Amino acid sequence: DIQMTQSPSSLSASVGDKVTITCRASQSISNFLNWYQQKPGKAPELLIYATLTLKTGVPSRFSGSRSGTTFTLTINSLQPEDFATYFCQQSYSNPPNLSFGGGTRVDI
C-alpha cells in the first residue's frame, strides 16, 4: 500500500504569511495527488487536484507543486479563513486505495 507522509503536523502562522505544507509518497504516484481543507465540525473540501489544478472557486493564493514523490501545498498571504487542517491524498492506486496524509493543522 502507498503511504503518505505529511509534514509538519501543525504550524502557527499569522495573517499575510506564506505557508508551505509537504506530502511525501512512499512510491511514485505520478501527479495523482490531491489537497483538502477541513474546518472544525465540517467535512473536508477539495482544494487542489492532480497536483496543481485548483478546484473552481478556490482562491489563487493556493498552489500546488511536485518534485519527484514530494508534493507541496503553498498558501501565499494567509487569510483568516485559511486557518484549518489540510490533508493530502493519493488517488494513484489501482485497485483504488485513497490513502491520506496525517494532516497539517494551521493555527494562528
Partner 1 sequence: QVQLVQSGAEVKKPGSSVKVSCKASGGSFSANTITWVRQAPGHGLEWLGGIMPLSGTINHARKFQGRVTFAADTSTNTASMEVRSLTSEDTAVYYCAKVAQELGGAVDLWGQGTQITVSS
Q: Among 36, 62, 64, 106, which residue sits at the site for partner 1 (rule: CB under 8 A)?
A: 36
Is 63 an interacting residue with respect to partner 1 (CB under 8 A)? Answer: no
Cα–Cα dist 22/46, whole Å: 17
Cα–Cα dist 73/94, whole Å: 24
* Among the residue ranges 11-19, 46-54, 65-73, 74-82, the one whose residues contact partner 1 (CB under 8 A): 46-54
Cα–Cα dist 31/33, whole Å: 6
Q: Among 49, 78, 82, 106, which residue sits at the site for partner 1 (rule: CB under 8 A)?
A: 49
Is 91 an interacting residue with respect to partner 1 (CB under 8 A)? Answer: yes
Contact residues: partner 1, CB under 8 A: 1, 31-32, 34, 36, 43-46, 49-50, 53, 55, 87, 89, 91-92, 95-103
